[in-house]
Structure formats: C-alpha cells, structure tokens
Structure 1
Amino acid sequence: MRKSLLFLMLLSVKLTFGQVSDDFSDGNFTTNPNWVGSTSLFNVNATKQLKSSLSATAQTVTLSTANTFATNAKWEFSVQMSFDPSASNLARIYLISDNQDLSGSLNGYFVQIGESGSTDSYDLYKQTGTTVSKIIDGPAKTRVDVNSLLARVRVTRNDVGKWELYTDITGGTNYALEGSITDLTFTNSDWFGVFCKYTATRSTGFTFDDFSITELIPDVTPPTLVSAKVLDELTIEAVFSERLESTSALMANNYTIANLGNPTSITTTSLPTVYKLTYASALPSGDYKLTVNDLKDLKGNLIGANNTASFFYLKPYILKKEDVLISEILVNPKAGGVDFIEIYNNTNQVLDLAALQLANVDVSGNPASIKNVSTTALYMPAKTYWVLTTKSDVIKEQYNAEFPNQFIQMSSLPAYNNDKGAVILLGSQGVLDQFDYIEKMHIALLQNADGVALERVSFTKPTNELGNFKSAAATIGFATPTYRNSQEEDPTLVKSNVSLASKTFSPDGDGFEDLLQIDYKFVNNGNLASINIYTDKGVLIRKLKQNTTIATAGSFSWDGMNDNGQQSKVGIYVVKFDTFALNGKTEHFKQTCVLAAKLN
C-alpha cells in the first residue's frame, strides 16, 4: 500500500510538472509550493486563505513563488479586500516576473486592483525595469458594498502573445471579459506573486486564495536546437527554441562536437533559452557541428535524437604583409565595363577580410582614397582568388568567372588611371601588397589594351619584379576573374609539352570523342601560338589559331572541319603547334591523330 501511494505521489508530481497550484489547505505557504518575500507579514487564516498580517506602519509587502509559465498559460486566483481600494491601498498580482523581489526593478506583467472612488477596474500592466504601463484598461466595476471587494480573476495568454483578462466580481466562475491585447515583450518568467501596498489601518485587509497556473493548451512539442556559434576560443553559445529543464540542460554529456567531444561545463545566461558550453582547449579554425541529445523542456518533452547545428570558427588573426596579394587588375575596361582588382589568399588558412582595405596613391606615394573591402566578417579560404569590383554582374557577363560566388561588390573603388598608377592592399598593420603598374606592361602586339587584364605570373617573386605582371591570354578571354591566372607559371614544370587527349576522334555527333582535344603546358609565359592542321600528305586544311596569345596551360579543340567549313575526310592528320615569344624564343610541336568514322 505504501509503495502504491508513493507511486501515485510521484505520478502526480510528473503530471503537474512546471505548474503552480496553492489553495493553502495545508495551512502554510512554506511548502508545496514555497513562497518567499515578506513572509512575516502574511499568514494562513482559519479558513485556509492567504492573508496579510497586522502592521503598525504603511508599507509594501510581497510574496512570490517560482513560476516558469509565460506563454500558452492560464492564471486563476481569488482576491478579497475588506476596504475601499485606492492609490494608497491596492493589490498587484504578478503573473510574470524575472525578479523575486516584486517591489523592485523587474520585467513582467501584473493585474492591479485599486483606484480612488467606489468603482474599481481590473487592469493588466506591463513593467519594464521600474517603468509601468497599462496595456488592458478594464471597465469600471460598481460594488454593492463600497467597503468590500470580492473577485475571482482569470488571465490567459496564448503562444502568439494574446492576453485576455476575465473577472467575476461575485467571486464565482461566471467570467466576463475585461479586455484583450497582444504583447510579446517578455516571453519568459521565473516568479509569480502578490504585491500589497497599504496604510497601517488597511494592513490586514488583503486575502488571496486558489492560485492556479496551468497550460492553456497542453504542450507536446519537443524543444529544438536553433543555432550555435563561437563566443571565444573556449566558449560556444547554444540557442534553443524554448527554455529547458535545468538538470538535463546542464549535463555536459548531452552536448557533443565532432573531434572535440563533450564540453567541460554548461552554464546558463541572462537569456533563458541560451546556454554556454565551455571547452578545456582552444578551438582551431574550421567548420563544426554541435549535436545534442536527452534534453527536455519545462513540460518534460524530450528533444529529438541528434539535434544538430553547424557553425564556423576563425581564430583571431592579424593580417601580415603578403598574406593577401594582388593577383590581377583591370583598370582599362572595355565599353560598358568596370574596373576590378583580383586578390589572392597567399596563406594556408582562412582569412577574415573585414580588416582589409583597398587604396591608390597620392602624389607623395602614400596610400590614398582608402576603401574598406567589407564592413562585416568575410571569410576567404586558403589559396583562393576573389574579385573586388563595383558591378559583379558586369564582370561575370563580360568574362568567364569560374567561381561566381567569389566576388566582393564594393560601393566604390579607388580611382585607377589607365596609363599608370598603384594598387595597394592595407591591413591593420600597414601595407600588405602594392602593385605599381604602367600601361606598357601589356604585350606590345596588342592593338587595343581595353578590356585586357594584367595578371600576376608568380606569387613567390616580388610583386613589382620586372615581368611579374603580363597581359591575360586572348584564348581565355583576356581575364581570369576568380581563378588561376592564364600567365601564372608552374614552378614544377621543367619542359614545355603539347599532347592529345586521344589520338583518335570521330566528329559524328554521338557524344563520344567528337572533338580532338589538344592540351598544352609551357614553362614560360607570354607566348603567341599558331596551330595548323595538315593532312598526312602535308596539305594545310585548317588554320586553328594564328598568332594568338595563350595561357601557360590550357586546351584547344578541333571539330574536324576544314577552313572551307566542310567535314574533313577519314584519315591521318598532323597537328602543328608553333609558339614564339617577344624575346625571340620559338618552340615547335607536332602530334599525329586519326579522324575516324563508324563502319556502315
């Protein structure tokens, strides 16, 4: 029998988890639930009601008990006053408060009863700190006995913040609506309680009973992990959809980050749905995923298995000289075009470009017209190329952008002249890189340099070393925004070569080897190429490219057509690939291929 009784008691506690209920039938207000505050100035009377005690002085007294209900909640209570309420003798019932001391600064809501005259209204107030504002102004109620007030009050608030205030001024449950309002200013609570302001002669005139706080609609929705972010190298912030039950919320084993494990501790914050996770060792830069399990909300709903939130962390780092380098510039755009500056992350780590600035130079050679690249965090992965411009869409339209998301659109760029100037990258510690350009850096054979970018050849050589910037190749469209420069040299390549992806091709439109792919790699840049196709008898049938500036590495293709626009016959053909540079160096390559066809 005792075991059965214990089980029923535990089941009762579980079913009423988070609720407040006190009719004082146990004859006290110290247990089930426990009330705190001005405990010596209240008592439970012979009829088992909470009553204010005799006082020789005018004062304000309060009692409060723990309450976490703030939305989807219903509050009910009865109140009696054996006098005519006034501004000097009034009652407040705090439905929501973030402070146990109801007479001090707090954030919450309360119902107030007490104003001058023989009529009283029942009003709902919002309190922010010490500022009080009425949000429901109930109509005046005329009492039969001016020196006695008896009422039962019901207040509801749904999930979207709609308040409704009801009363029955006979003390029954025939409720009438006093007013409604939608307000979501405060959506969390720690305390519920009563506040009595009186003169000495009214000190025993406040009586309360039948306090009940319950869910408006039963909550069966489990909590979820909303987000996670790094506060510092040891601390991660986890945000949940609702307040959590403290025992599960503060258990470190319920939180896991891959490769980091469990935190050493979990702590609460000033925001009830936010928790701090502390780790013993500093987090390295990288992408992370926080996984949580076995957490419960205040109603006991269990969070779904393996709730996750991803986040990224970049260790604090100050940009140093040559961490970010100038890779390519276009300061003489084609008609309808705009300038752009391409930058390169020369490190092996992700960089935050929030501290990066772009500038030109004044007549004294000092940085001028300084522009911030970004006003917010901007992460640049290692060894990537990013483009700074004012009109990203124009650059993408005029050139092939291999990585269209690697553009940074600025409101304005420093002014850069076509004939000469300087592009400067600045960090918090000074100049990171500076390129002093002149128009004569373009290849001499160019008839018009408009729309042709200057590309960096090497990231290991000094920026302004002679020959380290050259015209982008015609074969790639005269610019390479967001990817490897056409004139960039491969330091591991010791010998130039031209090869065919396949020795045989069949331009019959079946989708298999319809084109002859001609691949090339050159040790040195700045080459012009002529590519001609000959029959095995030495007859020239196709001038594929003539005196065209090419990249250091790339591909061409032949579709099998001759210069007359006719399909070449099945047979053996010779690809002759000739290059020359302005320094007089020439190179010659030959490759043989077979143009094949299907057998009928």
Structure 2
Amino acid sequence: MKKLLLPFLALLSAHTATAQLTDTFADGNFTQNPAWTGDVASFQVNAALQLQTNGPATTGTELQLVTSCAATTGTTWEFWANLKLATSSGNFADVWLMADQPDLKASGTKGYFVRLGGTPDEVALFRKDATGSPVYVVNGQDATLSSTNNNLVRVRVTRSPANVWTLERDLAGGTIYVREGTATDATHQRSAYFGVYCTYSSTNNRAFYFDDFRVTDATAPLLVQAAAPAPRQLDLSFNEAVATAQSAASYRLSTGSPAVTAAVRDAQDPTVVHLTLAADLPLGSLTVEARNVADAFGNVAAGPLTVTFQNNGFAVPPGLNQLLITEIMADETPVVGLPASEFVEIHNPSATTVVDLGGVRLLKPGNTGNPAVFPVGAVLLPGEYAVVCGSTRTAQFAAFGKVFGLTNFPSLSNAADQLVLRGRDGRTLFEVSYADTWYRDNRKKDGGWTLEIRDTTNPCAGADNWRASEDASGGTPGRANSVRATNPDRTAPVLLRALALNPTTVRLYFGEKLDSAAAATVVLYTLTPAATVLRAAPLGPDFRLVDLTLAAPLTANQPLTATVQRALDCVGNASGPATSAPLALPVPVVAGDVVINEILFNPRTGGVDFVEIVNRSGKFLDVQGWQLGNQKPDNSVDAEPVSSGPVLLLPGGLLALTTRPDIVQQQYPTSSDAAHLLPLPALPTFPDDAGTVVLFDSQGRILDRFAYSDEQHLKLLDNVEGVSLERIRAAGPSEAGNFHSAAGSVGYATPGRPNSQQQPDVAGTGILTLEPEIFTPDDDGQQDFTSLAYRLDAPGYAGSVTIYDAQGRLARRLVRNETLPTQGTWQWDGLTDRGQKASVGYYILHIELFRPSGGQKQEYRKTVVVGARQ
C-alpha cells in the first residue's frame, strides 16, 4: 500500500493550507503530529507504517482511538483500510468522521461514521444521534467487503456546504473511486473528534489496518444567523469554526451605524463571533455584512456575506404564556442520571424577544410562605431554556447551561401539585397542575424521571400535553425536551357546570383555561329566564372559573340556564355559538334527598376508592360542608369533608367522590364521566371486605347509610378487585338487596354515569329483539351487521350466545358467560370463529340466560339470515 505514499504526499504538499487532519504514520507513531488518544495500548504502528489493532484476543472486544478534528461542512474525509478477516455483526470497523465527544463507545455520542463490514459486508455512511440506533445516510452495496482475509478499501466522503453527502470507495486501495451514493443530512453541525472504532472476535485482534487519514476543508465559511442578545451586542453564527483572531473591520451593518468596535470568537463555540457596537441597535429589520472572514483552516470568504435579522427590543417583562414551565422533576429518587434534586425548567418560547425575569415569582397557590423570586437583571434569551432550583443546589446543575438558584424554591409534591409563575405586577404568566398519572409509565412515576411538555405552542393544555421524559438520563434540563411533538389544541372550551354562590353571584366552571381578557366581557353571558349580568370576573391562577354578578337576586330552587357565547380558551379556540349549563340557587337538603348510589371499596392495583351519590329529589342542592364517613364496628365514624367550596348537585344528578379522579378515569375510560367526578383531599378508609359508608349534611345530620360487603358481589366473579356495587333502584332502600355488582360489559364500574344495573321498576319480563333479521355483511354501510337487544327482568344474569348454521354446525361463539346489565345489545358482524365471512343462508342464535342467585336458566332461539346483494 505504501507505494501510493509519494503521490499522496505530493497531493498533501499542494493543499497543506486547507488540511484539518493528516496522518500517514510515516513517523512510526500515533502519539504526536497528531496525537491520538483512547485504547492506545491496543494499537501499534507496524513495520509497514500502518496503524494496526493489537488488542486482547477476547471475543466482543471494542477498541477506539480519536484525535481532535472540528471539520464539519465543505469537507472531504479520506482514509485507507484493510480488514483481514471475514466481516460480520461482531467483526467490523467504524471510522468516525465527526464525533461530539472522545468516547466512541458511549451510546450518547453524536456524529457521522463510515462502517466497514457488519452483517451486510458493506461500506456505508451512518448518522448517530444522542439516543437510538445509528441510521443510514448512504446505504452501501451489500457484499462489497466479501473476502475472508483481505478486505482492502480506500474511502472518500465529502459534505458540501449545502449538507449533501457523497460516499465513494476504491476496493483496490487506490484513488479510482466508485460512488456508493449521495444524500442530504444536516442534523449535526458540530464536531470535536475524528476516530476509529473496532469490534472483533478473539482470532481477529490484529486484523484491522488503517492508513492515509486526511480531512480537508477547502471551502470558505458561510454566515448563517445573527441575533442581538443586548442593545449593543450582535452574535453571528457561521456554518463552521472560524479563525481565532477576528477583526472588527471585517464586520459592519449595512446602514453603516452603529459601528462595530470589537469582534471576538466565542470561547466555547468556535462558530460564533460576538460583535460589540458603538451605540444601541435601532429597531426593525437589520442586515449585517462580513468580509474577509477566515475559517479555522485558512479558507477566506472575501464576501460580503450578509444575513438579515429582526430587532424587536431587549429584555421585556413577560406576558401570559411568554414564559413557560416546560419540565418538572418532582420526585428525584431513585436517581437515574440527573442530580438528586427537585427542579423545574423554564423556557422563553419567543424567537426574537429577550425576557426580563427580574421580580417574576415561582409559587404554589395556597402556600403561606414567601414565593421564590428571580433576581433583578436575570434574563432569558429567545428560545432559551434554564434550570430553576433551590439556592443551595445551583452547582449540581452547572453542566446543564443557565441555572437560577432561588431562595424559597417550593417543595414539589410527588403525586400532584400546582405551580404558578407570576409577573412582578402580580399577573399570572403560566400555570400547571400536574399529577403522576401524566407520566403514563408506572416505572418512571416512581422517581428519577421528569415530566416534559410536548408542544410549547400549546401551553394551556394539561395531561394530554405532558409525558415522562424519554431521555436516558431521566430528563433534558436546559435543552429541548425529548418528547417534543406537534400537539395543537383544537378543542373549544366547554361550560361544565354552573352554580349560584348566593342570590346575586353565579359561578361558571369551564373544562379548560380561558382567555382571561375575553372572559371578562359581560355581553358573552346570558341567564334564562332573564337575569341581567352586571360584571364577569375570571378567577386566576388558571382562569377556569368565571364569577357573574347579577343585577337582581335569584329565587331559591328556580331552574335557570347559563349560556356563554363564543368563549375563548387561552390559545384562541372559540366555543361556537353557545355552550350552556343548568343552575339554580340551592335549597337545604333533608335525609333521603341524596343517597349512596355506587361504591368501589376494593380497587384494582394502583387504583383508588370512590363513592357515588345521587340526588333523587327535585331540589338543587349544594354539597359544600357535607361529609363522607366510614362507620366502624364500635359505631365511631371516620369522616372527611366532601367539598370545602360550593358544588351544585342537580335533581337526578350524580357525583362520584374520590381522591384521584384522574386515576378513576384511567381505569374506567369508557364508563366514567369527568364532569361528575369530584376530587377530595382525602377519603375515609373503606375496608376491602366489609364496612358502612355514611353521608352527612353540613350540620352533621345523616343523609344516607349503606352497609356493604364483598359477599354482595356476583358469585360468578373470580376476582372482585375493581368491581363496584351499584344501586339497582334509586327509590329503593339502601340495603344489600338493592345493590349489585356492576356489569362486566361496562368495565365493572360506572363512576359519574348511570348505573349499569339500575332498574326503573320491579316488574318486567325478559325480551329479546333481533334487528335486522336479514343482513348483508359486505361493508357497504347498509345492514352490515345484526343486533340482538335484550331487556332483563332483574339484575344478576350471565349470558351466552352461540350461533349455528342451518345444518347445526357451530359458526360463532358470540358471548360466553358474560355478566349482564339489565339491558344491552350484542352485535354479529357475520364472521365465524375463524375470522371468515359466514356463507349465505339461515343461522340459529342460541341464547342462554342464567341467574346464579336464583338458579333460573332460560333458553331462546332466534333465526337470522346472512344475505348478499345482487
């Protein structure tokens, strides 16, 4: 191979000004000119003056060497290699053209590399991101390196200033290159190292040979971006590293003023130049020019290079959603990879505006202590992220970028909490009420992982816009979130309920945060029968509530309807023509008006108890001050308040009382109603086997009492965890005979919804209705299935439906021993148990109903025809 050395050196001498890296190992070592680091004891320069592996003869060994190299775009990489082995998934070499860190074995190393060998025996160009497996940039031809002991190749890779990659190779080791392919990829724009990585089986420890490494940058730098972080400073970003020495004379504004007085390359990022100006920048669109700027390798851009930017001013106090909380570490242990400390991340979503943080407060509403306050002079640049933590924890986060250590940083509850950012004028800037169900991952919610916002352009959203971090370290403090994704809010705000707090004040409850300014517009609200609204006051910090002040007092228990015209949520979605809710001025409750309607006392793993109450009177009632209790065997009662604030219970209305409505919704997604789930700070302890639940009014008088037991559950149920007991008849007594296990077909509980086992009256006979009796399962949208509706005379039935063809052969087991509500529907789509379409003809539906408690068994047969359209 060294016979190519002379022409190669001649080529080198002709372009030394632009060579970023050259090593032919002609000096017999790899420790200087340039210096390679890594597994130095496992490499050698052999007698042929080639770099050769010399590692341990152990299968699965990984070796690496790296040397400094910052070349990125407008660059050519060349090298020679010979793999004297049969390449495979465990025997290959990666030549890293760009790497952001010196450890090529680390999973988080980012950059680009050429793989020689691997399972496809190819020469291919890959990109490696911080997470995930490498991905192809150029997929080389398979079986290119197919020799068992002599895979010789010279490789050339070029990356144009437009980020177009070209991969070429010569299998004779010369310079007659064959193109493998081209592709555009601009993912990584920074590099610090060039290197080689080899992995092998035990017999191939000395089988990797490398030579003639050359990295050439022959293109001048390009000016990419300008930003003004301060009135008299401009930061210019180039597409590659520029020369250390910079001259103010190389830069000017196209307007000629203010003049540039100094130009300094950034100490950390060699692609950035900081310009100091003689006077403040004017507002508006500005153009900066650069002339005779050299890159780090001597290539000069004569220019002028120009870039235009918008100056919108500097360091302004943030308004609503102009400063965001984008990441929350509420439970820092066990440690995954981040410091063992609570923190939140804040973000300036603007692309142009510098945010003045001075005087901004971070707090938890209701806390009596002093809030955490950002110091005067603190700013957040456009698009910038910063970590906020306790004042004694700042050093732990220094490696993550900008950090604000605040005195009185609030303690974050693991399960659920509310955080608010308030401006120095007291206005709410941002609010989030998080819960550990937002993780959607039971492992991650146990600690060490952050919650991250998905779409920062949708700051008002709750659970749907937050997820557990997917970063291997447990979070992404100080940088863009790992779960970031487009997640717009296209849902209009809905008026959930309304309540008269007193004769002249009505409170409206909305399903999401409102535009507080728009929500204060009086003409949006009407009450019928006619009641004049004098004032509308949205309530912070989350602006889900609006209090209406009325001109005249309301009459007690008089039904009204509150209507809102075009309510706007905080991202501008309008509710449409109108959204409304019933209300009235509540009247006092008496025993028997409200009864216990459903109880879940033995929840599933990770679940919570709930007790549902129903208003069976014609009254509008306020549950404020009521209590829910568990009567113990000694007749003492463990009681907890139902609500410290006003909550209206409509005639016939339901409320499911629980500490975690979010968990109830998660475990009963299709049979719960969020509008009728009322969160309580605490519930009495209800034993899993038996107990007595008691409901009290605000005066401590008993409204209802129910003694429950797991013996009341349907005997056919193998497991009653997560199965509620439901009231059968609302007007009936609160005793065991009037309660039954919720039906399996609705998920075994109906929190906030009508009971699956409810029965309007005691009388009735079983009825089966089949419609249509002829159907055509051809997916044309017309009679594609048949429905078998049932109405049972009592709860507690189990049912089976088996379908036979006209010859008596089994076609489909549609239902097998399913616990049933008192009424429902089954559907047959015309498919057999094999998933095939049933043949045209007559079919018999054999229905079996069995009631274990009474031993009754009933059998029915229905005929149906599977047809076909002509």
TM-score, normalised to structure 2's length? 0.35
The equivalent of 1:446 in structure 2 is 717
Amino acid at match of 2:704: D
CA offsets, 1:366-424, max 9 Å, x none? 322x1111111112222132211122222222222353221111122111111111111
The equivalent of 1:495 in structure 2 is 765
SS at match of 1:393: helix
Equivalents in 2 of 1:481, 1:402: separation in Å? 5
The equivalent of 2:623 in structure 1 is 353
TM-score, normalised to structure 1's length? 0.50
Equivalents in 2 of 1:280, 1:532: separation in Å? 59
**How far apart are residue 490 of structure 1 and its match?**
3.0
Q: Cα gap change, 1:340/1:322 in structure 2, threshold over 3 Å: closer, same or farther? A: same
Q: Is the 8 A contact 1:525 1:552 kept in 2?
A: yes
**Which aligned pairs between 1:539-558 and structure 2 lie closer than 5 A?**
539-558=809-828
SS at match of 2:558: coil
Is 2:868 aligned against 1:597?
Answer: yes
Q: 1:277 aligns with which of 531, 534, 551?
A: 551
The equivalent of 2:645 in structure 1 is 376
Equivalents in 2 of 1:373, 1:519: separation in Å? 39
**Which aligned pairs between 1:290-301 and structure 2 lie closer than 5 A?**
none
Is 2:560 aligned against 1:286?
Answer: yes
CA offsets, 1:413-459, max 9 Å, x none? 11111111111111134111111111111112221111111111122
**Which aligned pairs between 1:316-327 and structure 2 lie closer than 5 A?**
316-327=586-597
Is 2:839 aligned against 1:565?
Answer: no
Equivalents in 2 of 1:413, 1:539: separation in Å? 54
**Which aligned pairs between 1:507-518 and structure 2 lie closer than 5 A?**
507-518=777-788
The equivalent of 2:358 in structure 1 is none
**How far apart are residue 283 of structure 1 and its match?**
7.8
**Which aligned pairs between 1:339-350 and structure 2 lie closer than 5 A?**
339-350=609-620
Is 2:692 aligned against 1:418?
Answer: no
Q: Is the 8 A contact 1:324 1:344 kept in 2?
A: yes
Equivalents in 2 of 1:371, 1:586: separation in Å? 45
CA offsets, 1:465-501, max 9 Å, x none? x421111122222112222222222317522101123
SS at match of 2:839: coil
Is 2:696 aligned against 1:431?
Answer: no
Q: Cα gap change, 1:519/1:423 in structure 2, threshold over 3 Å: closer, same or farther? A: same
Structure 2: 5+ residue stretches without partners: 1-423, 427-497, 508-516, 518-524, 535-547, 566-577
> Which structure would you say has the larger Rg?
1
Equivalents in 2 of 1:256, 1:548: separation in Å? 48
Q: Cα gap change, 1:183/1:510 in structure 2, threshold over 3 Å: closer, same or farther? A: closer
Equivalents in 1 of 2:766, 2:834: separation in Å? 32
Q: 1:457 aligns with which of 722, 728, 735?
A: 728
Q: Cα gap change, 1:310/1:497 in structure 2, threshold over 3 Å: closer, same or farther? A: closer
Equivalents in 1 of 2:815, 2:688: separation in Å? 29
The equivalent of 1:328 in structure 2 is 598
Q: Is the 8 A contact 1:318 1:428 kept in 2?
A: no
Q: Cα gap change, 1:323/1:530 in structure 2, threshold over 3 Å: closer, same or farther? A: same
Equivalents in 1 of 2:654, 2:550: separation in Å? 36
SS at match of 1:475: helix
Q: Is the 8 A contact 1:350 1:381 kept in 2?
A: yes
Count of aligned pairs between the two proteins: 336
Is 2:746 aligned against 1:476?
Answer: yes
**How far apart are residue 568 of structure 1 and its match?**
0.9
Structure 1: 5+ residue stretches without partners: 1-181, 185-227, 242-254, 267-273, 292-307
**How far apart are residue 257 of structure 1 and its match?**
6.8
Q: Is the 8 A contact 1:384 1:483 kept in 2?
A: no
CA offsets, 1:95-151, max 9 Å, x none? xxxxxxxxxxxxxxxxxxxxxxxxxxxxxxxxxxxxxxxxxxxxxxxxxxxxxxxxx
SS at match of 2:782: coil
**Which aligned pairs between 1:116-135 and structure 2 lie closer than 5 A?**
none
Q: Cα gap change, 1:277/1:472 in structure 2, threshold over 3 Å: closer, same or farther? A: closer
Equivalents in 2 of 1:413, 1:550: separation in Å? 30
SS at match of 1:405: helix
**How far apart are residue 309 of structure 1 and its match?**
13
Amino acid at match of 2:560: G
**How far apart are residue 567 of structure 1 and its match?**
1.6
Q: Cα gap change, 1:558/1:290 in structure 2, threshold over 3 Å: closer, same or farther? A: closer
Q: Is the 8 A contact 1:490 1:523 kept in 2?
A: no
Q: Is the 8 A contact 1:388 1:409 kept in 2?
A: yes
Equivalents in 1 of 2:764, 2:710: separation in Å? 31
Q: Is the 8 A contact 1:348 1:383 kept in 2?
A: yes
Equivalents in 2 of 1:317, 1:323: separation in Å? 11
SS at match of 1:334: coil
Equivalents in 2 of 1:580, 1:422: separation in Å? 31
Aligned-residue RMSD, C-alpha = 3.8
Greater mean alpha carbon deviation, residues 528-537 or residues 280-289: 280-289
The equivalent of 1:205 in structure 2 is none
**Which aligned pairs between 1:255-266 and structure 2 lie closer than 5 A?**
258-260=528-530
CA offsets, 1:339-363, max 9 Å, x none? 1112112122332221321111133
Q: Cα gap change, 1:501/1:481 in structure 2, threshold over 3 Å: closer, same or farther? A: farther
Q: Cα gap change, 1:236/1:309 in structure 2, threshold over 3 Å: closer, same or farther? A: farther
Q: Cα gap change, 1:576/1:408 in structure 2, threshold over 3 Å: closer, same or farther? A: same
Q: Cα gap change, 1:570/1:337 in structure 2, threshold over 3 Å: closer, same or farther? A: same
Equivalents in 1 of 2:729, 2:820: separation in Å? 17
Q: Cα gap change, 1:290/1:519 in structure 2, threshold over 3 Å: closer, same or farther? A: closer
CA offsets, 1:22-78, max 9 Å, x none? xxxxxxxxxxxxxxxxxxxxxxxxxxxxxxxxxxxxxxxxxxxxxxxxxxxxxxxxx
Equivalents in 1 of 2:499, 2:744: separation in Å? 46
SS at match of 1:467: helix
